[in-house]
């Protein structure tokens, strides 16, 4: 199953990467990128593994970081709706399409 990132989710991905580069270094930022990629690949292989939020909406924790990949299952792909920080603005992404 292939993925599609919504523009807002892609922006949310760039923000912590830039922050981690500035505050913790390139190595930590690379690890974050790797962990987000690992989570996306898990969804590709096991689309229903994330915690269900609604009928088609799920979330999967990014291991080692306080972020969730929020995704919607479509017929032939899944849409990453948000890369949501676990301690900020709960469910702010709920209206995204």
Query: Where are the domains positioned within the chain?
Result: 2-85
The model scores a pTM over 0.75: yes
DSSP 15-53: HHHHHHHHHT-HHHHHHHHHHHHHHHHHHHH-TT-SEES
Closest alpha carbon to 31 in 1, 63, 53, 7: 63
Per-residue pLDDT, averaged over 10-36, amounts to 96
Contact 39, 69 (CB under 8 A): yes
- The H or E element that residue 52 is part of is strand 51-52
pLDDT at 93 over 90: no
pLDDT at 84 over 90: yes
pLDDT at 66 over 80: yes
Query: Could you report the per-residue pLDDT of 29-63, keeping only the tens digit for each?
Result: 999 999 999 999 999 999 989 999 988 899 999 99
Between helix 26-45 and helix 7-23 the angle, nearest 10°, is 150
Give the pLDDT score at 60. Answer: 97
- Band of the pLDDT at 1, cuts 50, 70, 90? confident
In this structure, whether the domain defined by 2-85 belongs to CATH 3.20.20.140 is answered with: no
């Amino acid at each position: 199953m292939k993925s599609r990132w919504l523009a807002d989710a892609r922006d949310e991905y760039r923000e912590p990467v830039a922050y981690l580069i500035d505050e913790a270094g390139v190595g930590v930022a690379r690890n974050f990128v790797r962990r987000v990629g690992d989570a996306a690949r898990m969804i590709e292989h096991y689309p229903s593994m994330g915690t269900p939020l609604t009928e088609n909406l799920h979330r999967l924790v990014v291991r080692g970081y306080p972020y969730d990949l929020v995704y919607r299952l479509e017929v032939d792909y899944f849409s990453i709706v948000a890369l949501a920080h676990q301690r900020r603005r709960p469910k702010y992404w709920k209206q995204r399409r």
